[in-house]
Each structure stands twice: as structure tokens, then as C-alpha cells.
A and B are shown apart, each in its own frame.
Chain A
Amino acid sequence: MAMKIGEKPFFDRVDDALDDTFMHQSMANAQDGLRGKKIAATEGDEAIGDWEDWRSAGEEIRRHTLENLDYYLEQLSENFAKRGGHVFFAETAEEANAYIQQVAKEKNAKNATKSKSMVTEEIGLNEALADVGCQVHETDLAEYILQAEEGDRPSHIVVPSLHKNKSQIRDTLKEKAGYSGTDQPEELTAFARSQLRDVFMNADIGITGCNFGVAETGTVSLVTNEGNANMVTSYPETQISVMGMERLVPTWEDLDVMVNLLSRSAVGQKITTYVTNVTPEVGLQSVDGPKDFHLVIVDGGRSKALGTEFQSALHCIRCAACVNVCPVYRHIGGHAYGSIYQGPIGAVLSPILGGYEEYGELPYASSLCAACTEACPVKIPLHEQLIRHRQIYVEEGYADKSEQAAMTAFGIGASTPSLFKIATKGAPTFAKPFVHEGSISNGPGPMKLWTKIREFPAPGKENFRKWFKEHKKGDS
């Protein structure tokens, strides 16, 4: 399944989303709630000081890391290996999956527990492990719910099951997991907890993502609210962490900044409930922690962005602050993007990782209001990158032919004053047959789509240039 969500064309997915009134309302409510909490924890929290300074610090750390990515990746992997861990660099999803399948086979693993991770979702790891007889159990509550409903996928980077309500969750668990209780969240959670307890005890392998790899010590840092990462990393003897190749910080001081930015931006928390830091300890006779620890570092198309205008898209720390303010996401929800990365960052990342053929429409699913850029804690110029994607889309010939012709005409019109003069003079006469009571309700040609839902203004009768000329004459 990997990164792609759904097979339907973009506008069919949008229609599905708009028809789902529960989901639509839920997204809007969630945005309003998350936005308020975020502001309280960032601009409104005196304890943290000037939020803009934190954003600048975050941007600087991410830029420095990405500009020296090879150095820090080497430092991370050396430190990880020095303590007995195994590092594998995977260029593609297939390579990553093949390596992890191999580990599972060697361990003869039947069950794996997993703490939520976007990158394992991106590479389609669950399916790959199922192919070698190892079942992956999602342990983040939201992911557990999605896994119960076969084929359901995350609709939000931080709150993956945002599209489902309590009674839908109850029905899913009843049908798929033998649940018999009510739709009270406490009761649903208690059920999931009891189910997961056995799962944790019987896991052969623990799989996690990696919020940040700390280069100076070779540590995998995980940010969760449920503590499930601790369970995943402390029970099984074998642990596999999968990270996107950009997800690292040089030092623990940098980690401190990033965790502050992440938890405050994502859900308006001053600090997340758990920050789980795991470093290989092979031979150190630790009582908990994995005896065999693998770190799989995935490129998956990321390196295509290095050295380009999109490099800063790799600064993303997956907080979803941009998603939480995006007016487009607000109305269509996550699944309409057709990618596990939704919202503005999804519209920027998906074409980089998955190409324009598959995700070229996403950069157009934005009104370029720049709310995303304003919200990003590490200052990725998201709306500018959306425009840049559109330029490439056009330059590489993907754009609609009639649009291309219209824009060529626009370019000529907008650089030829005599033509514009004729157009402004002629507009009222040309528009006259379509004008009723001062506006156009059923416009011709390119106006047609506009007037499907809105009135189009009738061109003003008075010629402004002429008026201005006469007005100025009156002055002298």
C-alpha cells in the first residue's frame, strides 16, 4: 500500500470527503481546537519566551543539519554501530523492506509490535512483513483502531484516526476484535489496552519510527503520548527503528529545541508525555532494552530534494502545524490527498517522493493563503514551494493544454497596453448579453466554472483611465 492512499482520481476523493459530513465537521472542530491550544502553548506561553526566536533556532538547526547531512548521518551511524547496533542505508522502500524481512526471517519472528511511524507507513512495511509470516501489531491507539478496520489509513500526520467518530470505532472493534462495550472513550481505550497487553508480551520484534536520531550519541528519540514506544522498545530482544534520512539532529541540546517545537506545534502541549530515547547497549548488560538493534535509514526519494529549492521541505519535523491551519485540509480531510502525507507539507513532499505523475495535482490543492508557512515551526516556505512545484509541473508539460494557451494569451495581454486598452473599452459591450441586474450569472467560456456557484461582476461602464484623465484636467 505504501505512501499512496486510494485509487480514485483526486476530484472523486474530494467529493467523497465532502459527502462525509461527519468527517468534514470533525476536521473543522479539530483544527479550531488544535489551533487554540497551539497558540496558548506558543505565542501565549510566557515560560517559553519569544516563540519567533524558537522558530528561528529550529530553522537554523534543521538547515545546518541538512546542509551537513552526510557528516551527521555518518556520525549517527558510527556511534550507533560503536555500541553494537546495526545500521542499514536503504535507497528505496524495497531495499528497506528486504533488509527488515531478512532480520525477521533470521529471528523466525511471527509477531512484531510497532509504535506509530510515518516512514514505515510510507514504505509499506506491515505488508512486507506479512509476506514473510510476521504480523505487525500497531500499538498507538489510533493506529490500532485503523488496523482493526482493514484497509483504513491515517488521515492526519499526528492524529491518524481523526476521520472516525466514537461510534464508528465501537462498531469496528465489535466487528473485528470482539468488543462488546459502549462508545465511551474510556471503555474503548481500556479494551484496546487489554488487547495490546498480550500483544506486547508476545512480540518477537519491536519496530519504531524515529522522531529524531541524535548524531552525537547514536540515539533514537521517540515522542509519544501513550508510552507505547517504551513497551515496544523494552520487551522484545530485537528492535528495528526506521528513519527518514533527514530525521536527525546533531546534539542533545538541539533535540531539546526540536522536542519543544514539535510538541507545542503539534497538539499544543508544553512537553509530550513520553520522550523515549534508545541507544544500542549490546554487551553492556542492560536489563531492559533490545539485545539486537537495527537502524534502517531510508532515502526513498528524499535525496532528490537535496541541493534544490525543496531542500527545506526536508526540515519538516512532522508536527502537522501546517495541516492544522490549512483551509483546504479543513474541508477535504486527509484521505483526499491520496498520500499518507497530507495538508500543505503533504502537497510539497508527496510529489518529491512519489513524482508528479502520481501527486502533481496536490500542489494545486491550495489557495496559497500562506497560513501553512506562517504556522511552520521550522519556517519551511511551504506556499512558495507549492508555487515552485506548479512551475515544474507546467515546465515539464503536465499542465492542461487549454490552460497553457490561456496563460500564453494572458502573458501577451498583460504586456501589451494597446490590447488591454481595447479589452477594457470593449468589456462592457462584450459582456452586455450576459449581464442581468448588474452581474453575470451564467458566464461564457472560462467564466463558466466561476458562475456555477457565484455571480461574476459586470464590467464597470465608466472607463477609469478616461475618468482619471478628465479628473486631472480639472485639477489644473
Chain B
Amino acid sequence: MKISLFVTCLGELFYQEAAKDMVEVLERLGCNIDFPRGQICCGQPAYNSGYRKDAQKAAKQMISAFESSEYIVTPSGSCAGMFKEYPGLFQDDSTWHEKAQKVADKTYEFTQFIVNVLDVEDLGAVYHAKATYHTSCHMMRLLKETESPFKLLNNVEGLELLPLENSYDCCGFGGTFAVKMLPISEQMVDEKVRHVEETGADVLITADGGCLMNIKGRIDREGKPIAVKHIAQILNSRS
């Protein structure tokens, strides 16, 4: 199967290991991956802050980069969710609206693609740890994807998956919200970290770069002994 990798700006700048793991997992599943070189950022920082025109610029760039792709797969529920917003961003422009719709329709988050398109639930991964999973809001509520990560994680040998209290509550990232509303975001991430700690997990797993950056940033600042990993890192693990 031919797929195009949308690695996301966070993936490209900060989380290359996770991106590589994703590539390796998908290749093992028989995917022929290409990397459209025109890709940059989905535009969510501008879109969510109210800068529609600047978001449109980013969106046009991405639509052009991916319009000839068969499938678009990304290691971020939130960025996949942003692709789904593209048609709405070009409501007044029928040409771009149509292109945007096509791109939106063929976009999948990484675990969603594996489970729902490739119909695979066991990747033969081995990872010995007590872990808990952070369900990112955009993946849950914009993509309506709640099951795929769990289906895959439940088949990881050696992984003990612990339930996370109030998992439905946002971690306080929200893009620019994390700095614009700093005191509120701080309370939100602190509560999230507290719940993670209460599980007794050694590892927090998530399928979203934004949440990862936020929660890991706080955990590391507080010096807590909890590792934060992207789900691709766990699913590509063999030990």
C-alpha cells in the first residue's frame, strides 16, 4: 500500500525518533512510504488563535504537498484533526474547498490507519513496563478515535496498561493556550501529572506531539521519574 507520511512540524523538529519508529512499523506492515517534501505545518497554531488567513496559507501549502497522495498518515491525532478542518477553512473558495475535502478524506492518524485501514491489531511489539495512556482531546473528539491505540497497546507483550483517572480531561496544551493562559494551563497539566503519578506507571504513552511536549515538559521540570513516549516508540519496540 502506498502512503504519504505527514510527520508534523513537532515530529520533524523534536520527535524524530518517534517519526522513525512510525516509518519502521508501517514498512513492516508492507507500506510503501513517501515523504512529500513540501510539507511544513498543518496551520493549527494560527487557526486556533483566530488567524484564518495565515492558517489558509499553511493549509494551501499542505494541500498542494499531499493532493496526489493515496493515503496520508500522521503520528498526531490533533494534526490529523486539523486536516479535517481544511474544508471549512475554504468555504468561500470552491476550488480549494474541493481539494481540501479530498485531502481531509484520505488522512489518518497512525494507530487509526493501522487498525481501521490495514486491519492489524497485533504488531508483535514487546515492551516491559507499567504504563498509562493519555487520550488526546482532538484524537478523541475531533477524530472520534478512541479504540485503536488501546487495541494495539493491549497486544504489546510485557506492557501493563493502567487506567488513568479523568483521562477525558485536557492536559492543558491547546497550542497557544499553553502560554497565553499560562496560569490555567499550569493547573491543568499539574492535575494531569498528578493523575499519571497516581497510576504508579513508569511510562506515559500518547499519540500526540503537542500533549507529549506539554506533559513531558512539566514532568521533567518537576523531576518526576516518569518517561513520556510517543505510541510509535512503544509499538516499534522489541525488548
Residues of A that sit less than 8 Å from B by CB: 11, 14-15, 18, 24, 28, 32, 325, 327-328, 330-332, 364-371, 373-374, 387, 389-395, 399, 403-404, 407-408, 410-417, 420, 424, 427, 439, 441, 446, 449-450, 452-460, 462, 464-465, 467-468, 471-472
Interface pair A464/B19, CB less than 8 Å apart: yes
Choose among B43, B170, B216 the residue with the greatest number of A CB atoms under 10 Å from its CB: B170
CA A415 to CA B40, docked complex, whole Å = 7
Contacts of B177 in A (CB 8 A): 364, 366-368
CA A460 to CA B17, docked complex, whole Å = 9
Neighbour of B186 across the interface among A327, A417, A453, CB < 8 A:
A453
Which 5 pairs show the lowest CB-CB distances between chains A and B? A367-B174, A390-B50, A454-B217, A411-B54, A414-B58
15 A-B pairs with CB atoms under 8 Å apart are A32-B166, A366-B174, A367-B173, A369-B138, A369-B169, A371-B141, A411-B51, A411-B53, A414-B9, A414-B54, A415-B40, A420-B9, A458-B14, A464-B20, A468-B5
Contacts of A468 in B (CB 8 A): 5, 23, 35
Interface pair A465/B35, CB less than 8 Å apart: yes
Interface pair B141/A373, CB less than 8 Å apart: yes
Neighbour of A367 across the interface among B14, B182, B188, CB < 8 A:
B188
Interface pair A407/B174, CB less than 8 Å apart: no
CA A327 to CA B37, docked complex, whole Å = 38
Interface pair A410/B46, CB less than 8 Å apart: yes
Q: Tell me the interface secondary structure of chain B in the complex.
A: helix
CA A137 to CA B169, docked complex, whole Å = 39
Contacts of B169 in A (CB 8 A): 327, 330, 369, 371
Look across to chain B and name the residue whose beta carbon is closest to the beta carbon of A454.
B217
Contacts of B45 in A (CB 8 A): 407, 410
Q: Which of B4-29 contact A (CB under 8 A)?
A: 5, 7, 9, 11-17, 19-20, 23
A342 to chain B, nearest CB (A): 14
B66 to chain A, nearest CB (A): 13
Choose among A14, A366, A407, A456 the residue with the greatest number of B CB atoms under 10 Å from its CB: A407
Interface pair B54/A370, CB less than 8 Å apart: no
Interface pair A367/B61, CB less than 8 Å apart: no
B79 to chain A, nearest CB (A): 12
Interface pair B220/A455, CB less than 8 Å apart: yes
